[in-house]
Amino acid sequence: MLRKVWERANITLNKNAVPNDPQSRFVTSGLRIGTPAITTRGFKEKEASQVATWICDVLKDLNSEDEIKRVKSEVKELCKEFPVYALKN
């Protein structure tokens, strides 16, 4: 559920197994917050800190469409500064 809320704000997290989880080993009940995608774009500490802030902002107010829209807009603006470049043939 939480993963889907962040996705609506243009933040992608990975489902991941959690050590000693009482759930079946086939259930991924944890979330992984990885940095490869943002570092590939060129994000540094300042931008990574902003992403963490957005994750917390959404978590604090999961049911606020206004908050999700605000974060989504800010994510889009930051990503415009750090485009993903296509490979040339």
Confidence band, pLDDT 50/70/90 cuts, at residue 67: very high
- The answer to whether residue 46 sits within a structural domain is yes
- The answer to whether residue 76 sits within a structural domain is yes
- 68-89 pLDDT per residue, tens: 999 999 999 999 999 887 666 6
- The answer to whether residue 89 sits within a structural domain is no
Give the domain range for residue 66: 2-81
Question: Rounded to an integer, what distance in angstroms lies between the CA atom of residue 78 and that of residue 81?
Answer: 5
What CATH number should be reported for the domain holding residue 26?
3.90.1150.10
CB burial class (10 A; 0-12, 13-18, 19+) of residue 79? Answer: middle
Question: Rounded to an integer, what distance in angstroms lies between the CA atom of residue 15 and that of residue 18?
Answer: 10
Task: Say what the pTM is.
Answer: 0.82
Residue (of 6, 15, 4) closest to 54 by Cα position: 6
- The answer to whether residue 87 sits within a structural domain is no
- The answer to whether residue 88 sits within a structural domain is no
- The answer to whether residue 44 sits within a structural domain is yes
Total structural domains within the chain: 1
Count how many Cα atoms sit within 13 Å of the Cα of residue 3 in the half-sphere of its side chain: 11
- The answer to whether residue 9 sits within a structural domain is yes
